[in-house]
Amino acid sequence: MKILVVGGVAGGATAIARLRRLDEHAEIILIERGKYVSFANCGLPYYVGGVIQNRDSLFVATAEGIKAKYGVEVRTEHEVKSIDREAKPCEILDLSTGSTYTESYDKLLLSTGSKPFVPPIKGVDAPTVFTLWTVADVDKISEYIAKNSPKKAVVVGGGFIGLEMAENLVEKGIAVTLVEMANQVMPPIDEDMARIVENHLAEKGVKLMLGKGFSEVRNDGRTVVLDSGEEIETDMVLLSIGVRPNNELAKSAGLKLTDRGGVLVSEYMQTSDPSIYAVGDVVGVNDFVLGGATMIPLAGPANKQGRAVSANVLGKSAEKYVGTMGTSVAKVFDMTVAAVGANEKSLSRAGFAYRRDYHIALVHPMSSAGYYPGAGSMTIKLIFDKNGKILGSQIVGYDGVDKRIDVIAAAVHFGGSVSDLAEFELAYAPPYNTAKDPVNFAGFVAENILSGLTDPVLYREYAADKSVYTLVDVREAVECESFAVEGAVNIPLSEIRDRIGEFDKSKHYLVFCAVGVRGYIAERILKQNGITVSNMAGGLRTMCDSGEELRRAGRTWSAVDKFIRTEGHDPADIGAGAVPETNAGGVSASVYVSASASACNAASEPRSDSVRSIALNVCGLSCPGPIVQVSKRLQEMAHGEILEVTATDPGFLRDIESWCLNTGNTLLEKSSEKGLFSAKILRGIVASNSDVPAAVQGGQREKTMIIFDGDLDKAIASFIIATGAAAMGNKVHMFFTFWGLSILRKKPKMQPKKDFISRMFGMMLPKNSKKLSLSKMNFGGIGAKMIRSVMKKKGVASLEELIAEAQSMGVEMTACQMSMDVMGITHDELIDGVNIGGVATMLSSSDNSNMNLFI
């Protein structure tokens, strides 16, 4: 049998390998009009950005290699111009010589792919306007960048390739403006999910112009004109507006096409001509979820179709290709964006309506255990029908997005339901997962929706008519102080049972919390008390993703993101099993882990023979933990050695910069990626570092603090400042007087004899640091407990740990003799290591200090 394969990249190259493995004797000829076969087109954007540095690594196989390995004749730079379906020869143009010849076939396989759409617009042929599809394209772009060092680029189109190129151009130091005609980037996901990606793009410095068509390129490619009349000055333009199937050959041969121009194929990938098969971007493929022909230009389906079709071409057996679900994943800077199956746009086109035909579970689970360094959150949107059948899903986040979309894709492939997702037993260990996987959470929430336990309201439903709902914020008051939502009444979850009477049964309440979990608990409490209530899907996080709440509050996403990830988390989110039905709202960064747990991660190892580098991992520690660890480790190091620090505390990079300046060390490098902050610090000062204040080199400085108050919050603040100052090389004196003495109290070994007044004082004063109350919102000790629990979850050391830390750093603590006498406190009642002194001690240390604090 003689088989001609047209197109030698994804589908075609896979097919010839499988054809040969199935039939050693068939005559197989691969015709490719380009210069190369089997190249990694998916890797091209990363070659532009320099992530892939070696051009040769873009070539998965060569013509010679294919010939040697598979015995297949490969003719590159040959283009099939026409097919005579009756007599079965193809007309082929040899592009290197310009001569034409014919080649007969028994079976023909078309894998001619697609091409980027270039609109018929004035100026698109300018030398600075590019598309990216082939190796020749990437060579042109790379050469232009190398020769002209462009400063500005306009990327037209916010699909996969447009975004990948935006990222890679930014990596090259080029300022990118992204113009997109739709109101969102990333067509495979819905607008609400795209907002998260858009926020991230904006954070990375990409200027987004959504809902703007592009109408002309002027000034020899230096000016892009939009249909709004706006003009953008640029050094280069990348068009990435979409693709069209390379269907000319099939069309001229009279093969049947779909409405969208794809070659019509059967489930065996056979065209309307039994001798001709087609695979890849050029075919109208069966939509696995919704049925009917669709166009899905992706490498995975092209490869799998190329494999499946081979046995059919050879007539050996009939292998079905059941359809494509559009499972896709893309990296957008630090983010991962993934999708499978139907989205709301495709459902709407197919006549489905939200609530009537399908439902949505929207959750923000964590990628791995919250207490394990590096855990990050993701947003999962799960779409399912009334019977629980999964129709599609979209996930946006950081680590672990890819594996969750694949799990859901497997469920969709097997026609699975949301209960399958809830039941799936998935591998768990803290670095990889939570004991209930994010996919399980999505399944739990979906089951709760179907069983009527919860009635989530999407942010867009609320925004469409806010007057329908009375908005109740169930976060704690302290969280609302950081970010309040306009028009919302604050009734914290912890008070809701006692305040049921405040709810009016004639109203429809919409409750929300940070991410949806406490909202759900509040919803359950209120529902069971006869109140009409819904829960805001995704909570405040999703409200902020929409952008509207942020604009109203005049805040930027990154500022609020930090707040919601840290301060605004649900207490119940931490710790698997804390919330039986769902703790899907677990948004956490590793800053939640406790100081002691993270201290175990600190590791040092020599890195180089010439200049010794020591690695220090302080992930999970919150301020001042990272700085304290850095200070300790540097003290053990010799001048000229380098400390490479990795931290998760968002303030670390800012702090380390000033710390280095003030301590006579040199910050060599700093960087951040995916919530990990790294700094390289040289012990000592490089001669050329003129920024270092001269005073830094002039010996130790001193700080004096007078602690008069005994409130927990003030005590914590005092010790954070004290340890921070000590870490910066200061000699620190803390002088405790009056109520401040309570901070140092402990239970004495033997109860000292006291007079009546002293006994009364002893009874009224907090017995030790653990009994201190808050200066505000103490609520009979609940506030203090809350603060301690929040601090623990955020990795801030407890007051007792801070005191021990301060002592180990040499902070001098003196208890005021006079106050002790007045209050009847004995030396035995104070923690070990505290000196007793009078005002003279305090005054003499304050004389030497360049900072005196009275707290």
Which residues are known catalytic residues? 42
Minimum distance of ligand FAD from residue 298's CB (angstroms): 4
The residue from 12, 365, 492, 516 that contacts ligand FAD (CB under 6 A) is 12
Identify the H or E element spanning 343: none
Nearer Cβ to ligand FAD, position 261 or 300? 300
Number of other CB atoms surrounding residue 818 within 10 Å: 12
Residues 141-160 that bind ligand FAD (CB under 6 A): 160
The residue from 28, 34, 531, 786 that contacts ligand FAD (CB under 6 A) is 34
Give yes or no for a contact between 434 and 368, defined as CB atoms under 8 angstroms apart.
Answer: yes
The residue from 16, 20, 32, 488 that contacts ligand FAD (CB under 6 A) is 32
Distance CA 175, CA 199 (A): 17
Site membership for ligand FAD, residue 576 (CB under 6 A): no
The residue from 178, 194, 265, 298 that contacts ligand FAD (CB under 6 A) is 298
Residues 223-262 that bind ligand FAD (CB under 6 A): 246, 249
Number of other CB atoms surrounding residue 826 within 10 Å: 16
- DSSP class per residue in 396-416: EESTTHHHHHHHHHHHHHTT-
Minimum distance of ligand FAD from residue 303's CB (angstroms): 8
Give yes or no for a contact between 428 and 437, defined as CB atoms under 8 angstroms apart.
Answer: yes
The residue from 71, 150, 300, 430 that contacts ligand FAD (CB under 6 A) is 300
Give the tokens for residue 722: 């004290």
Half-sphere exposure of 795 (CA within 13 A, CB side): 29
Give the tokens for residue 543: 């409200």
Give yes or no for a contact between 293 and 286, defined as CB atoms under 8 angstroms apart.
Answer: yes
Site membership for ligand FAD, residue 16 (CB under 6 A): no
The residue from 299, 478, 696, 851 that contacts ligand FAD (CB under 6 A) is 299
Which pairing describes strands 152-156 and 175-180: parallel, antiparallel, or unpaired? parallel
The residue from 23, 180, 190, 281 that contacts ligand FAD (CB under 6 A) is 281
List the one residue out of 526, 553, 529 whose CA is nearest residue 470.
526
Distance CA 117, CA 242 (A): 6
Contact segment (CB under 6 A) with ligand FAD among 293-301, 523-531, 720-728, 739-747 equals 293-301
Site membership for ligand FAD, residue 45 (CB under 6 A): yes
The residue from 79, 570, 711, 805 that contacts ligand FAD (CB under 6 A) is 79
Q: Using CB atoms within 10 A of its CB, is residue 599 exposed (0-12), middle (13-18) or buried (19+)? A: middle
Minimum distance of ligand FAD from residue 247's CB (angstroms): 9
Is the Cα dihedral 688, 693, 694, 695 positive or negative? negative
Minimum distance of ligand FAD from residue 44's CB (angstroms): 4
Minimum distance of ligand FAD from residue 60's CB (angstroms): 11
Distance CA 333, CA 439 (A): 24
Site membership for ligand FAD, residue 187 (CB under 6 A): no
Site membership for ligand FAD, residue 480 (CB under 6 A): no
* Long-range Cβ contact pairs of 43-48 (< 8 A, separation 24 or more): 44/132, 44/133, 44/135, 44/137, 44/138, 45/132, 45/161, 45/164, 45/165, 45/167, 45/168, 46/164, 46/168, 47/138, 47/142, 48/132, 48/138, 48/141, 48/142, 48/145, 48/165, 48/168, 48/169, 48/172
Contact segment (CB under 6 A) with ligand FAD among 277-285, 630-638, 670-678, 704-712 equals 277-285
Minimum distance of ligand FAD from residue 214's CB (angstroms): 20
* Long-range Cβ contact pairs of 92-99 (< 8 A, separation 24 or more): 92/31, 95/33
Number of other CB atoms surrounding residue 756 within 10 Å: 8
Give the tokens for residue 525: 């409490």
Site membership for ligand FAD, residue 74 (CB under 6 A): no
Site membership for ligand FAD, residue 728 (CB under 6 A): no
Is the Cα dihedral 686, 687, 691, 694 positive or negative? positive
Contact segment (CB under 6 A) with ligand FAD among 279-287, 370-378, 509-517, 532-540 equals 279-287
Site membership for ligand FAD, residue 123 (CB under 6 A): no
The residue from 10, 363, 450, 774 that contacts ligand FAD (CB under 6 A) is 10
Distance CA 142, CA 544 (A): 38
List the one residue out of 392, 446, 381, 451 whose CA is nearest residue 420.
446
Contact segment (CB under 6 A) with ligand FAD among 299-307, 436-444, 455-463, 523-531 equals 299-307
Nearer Cβ to ligand FAD, position 121 or 299? 299
The residue from 20, 33, 364, 792 that contacts ligand FAD (CB under 6 A) is 33
Contact segment (CB under 6 A) with ligand FAD among 143-151, 263-271, 292-300, 419-427 equals 292-300
Give yes or no for a contact between 376 and 367, defined as CB atoms under 8 angstroms apart.
Answer: yes
Site membership for ligand FAD, residue 302 (CB under 6 A): yes
**Nearest residue to ligand FAD, scored by beta-carbon proximity:** 280
Nearer Cβ to ligand FAD, position 47 or 503? 47
Nearer Cβ to ligand FAD, position 104 or 751? 104
Q: How many residues bind ligand FAD (CB under 6 A)?
A: 33
Contact segment (CB under 6 A) with ligand FAD among 294-302, 353-361, 534-542, 631-639 equals 294-302
The residue from 18, 19, 41, 517 that contacts ligand FAD (CB under 6 A) is 41
- DSSP class per residue in 286-334: EBTTT-SEE----HHHHHHHHHHHHHHHHTS-------B---EEEEETT
Binding site for ligand FAD (CB under 6 A): 6-7, 9-12, 31-34, 41-42, 44-45, 79-80, 111-113, 132-133, 160-161, 246, 249, 280-282, 297-300, 302
